[in-house]
Amino acid sequence: SVPLTVVAAIGAASKFGVIIKSGAAFERFGTIRHVAVDKTGTLTRNEPAVTAVLTADGVSEDQALEWAAALEQRSTHPLAAAITAAAPGARAALDVTEQAGHGIEGTVEGARITVGSPRWLNAGPLASRVAGLEEQGMTVVIVHRDGTPVAAIGVRDELRPEVPEAVRTLAGQAVGVTMLTGDNARTAHALAAHAGIDDVRAELRPEDKTTAIRELSRKASTAMIGDGINDAPALAAADIGIAMGATGSDAAIESADVAFTGHDLRLIPRAFDHARRGRHIIN
């Protein structure tokens, strides 16, 4: 059975938005020395918006956005919502298929259009300007028309303003932070610099995130914080899995040991402080 002091501590944590699922999770929480953080939605607002469009000769920005949006209107990816919102008009697409972690392809007005990561699609003559946008922290997707690069679309997802303070407070608690992301390395490093995070693992596939968590856990007791849905395997592989922004009905709560009702990363150092003091009282 769970000691009453632990029950009380778990109850107190729930009042500041930290739901701890069990007494065992509470006790393990107090031993955490490292935190791995998913970038999109956890460090960022998850409100991506198109902030730059580069085009090849003879292609207009509006054309490029409409070709891309014709495909993206079929996708639920956060980048897709940004691109659809930026397109001036709607066009129909046929034979649309999405490749998870890479991009999307289909036929628009008789031409084969592909939209996806610069790892998946070459940027051709746009490559050096694409790198420039990534260095400014934008995620860039490349647009191909019949196999030729015709545009690059830069999407910005702002860092949550409370993140740098949370990272500094964790450092003061001797808790290290690693950023995990499927996004490209240049974008990831630009955002990490603003967040105050030195250790960045970018261009990860979902299974690579799990491998990274296992590696970090061997060195120090590690918590993983993510939005819970596509991060479920990584949350499960961590010593403590934390789902952020969970609501009561969420599947995220199921795969995590701890759930935060809000998106404020400062809840992590606050909850550590609480759990460490709780352990001290118990032991």
Q: Smaller CB distance to ligand ADP: residue 80 or 166?
A: 80
CA distance 107 to 131: 28
Cα–Cα dist 263/248, whole Å = 15
Among 42, 114, 139, 210, binds ligand ADP (CB under 6 A): 139
Among 31, 75, 136, 211, which residue interacts with ligand ADP (rule: CB under 6 A)? Answer: 75
**Contact between 210 and Mg ion per CB under 5 A:** no
For residue 278, state whether it binds ligand ADP (rule: CB under 6 A): no
| Residue in the shown chain whose Cβ atom is closest to Mg ion | 40
SS3 4: helix
- Residue pair 202/212 in contact by the 8 Å Cβ criterion: no
b/e code 127-152 from CB counts within 10 Å (16+ = b): eeebeebbeebbbbbbbbbeeebbbb
| Dihedral sign (CA 192, 197, 200, 203) | negative
Which tokens sit at 214?
Answer: 């296992």
130 and 159 in contact (C-beta within 8 Å)?
Answer: no
Give min distance, CB of 22 to ligand ADP, in A: 29
- By CB under 5 A, tell whether 40 contacts Mg ion: yes
Minimum Å gap between C-beta 55 and ligand ADP is 17
Check binding of 182 to ligand ADP (CB under 6 A): yes
Positive or negative: CA dihedral 23, 25, 28, 34: negative
x/- letters, 21..60, toward ligand ADP (CB under 6 A): -------------------x--------------------
Q: How many residues bind ligand ADP (CB under 6 A)?
A: 19
Strand order through the sheet with 49-55 = 49-55, 148-156, 139-145, 111-116, 103-108, 94-99
Q: Count other Cβ atoms within 10 Å, centred on residue 100.
A: 11
Residue 149, binding choice from Mg ion, ligand ADP, none, Cβ under 5 to 8 Å by partner class: none
Nearer to ligand ADP, 33 or 119 (CB): 119
* Residues within window 84-103 making contact with ligand ADP, judged by CB under 6 A: 98, 101-103
Smaller CB separation from ligand ADP, 19 or 256: 256
Can residue 117 be called a binding residue for Mg ion (CB under 5 A)?
A: no
Site mask for ligand ADP (CB under 6 A), range 190-229, x = bound: ----------------------------------------
- In angstroms, the CA 275 to CA 266 distance is 14
Shortest Cβ 252–ligand ADP spacing (Å): 15
CA distance 111 to 131: 27
Residue 105's φ and ψ, nearest 5 degrees, are -140, 160
**Shortest spacing between CB 149 and ligand ADP, in angstroms:** 14
**Binding of ligand ADP by 189 (CB under 6 A):** no
Is-contact 86 66, C-beta < 8 A? no
Q: Respond yes or no: is residue 264 known to be catalytic.
A: no
Binding site for ligand ADP (CB under 6 A): 40, 72, 75, 77, 79-80, 98, 101-104, 115-117, 139, 141, 181-183
What does the binding site for Mg ion look like in residue numbers (CB under 5 A)?
A: 40
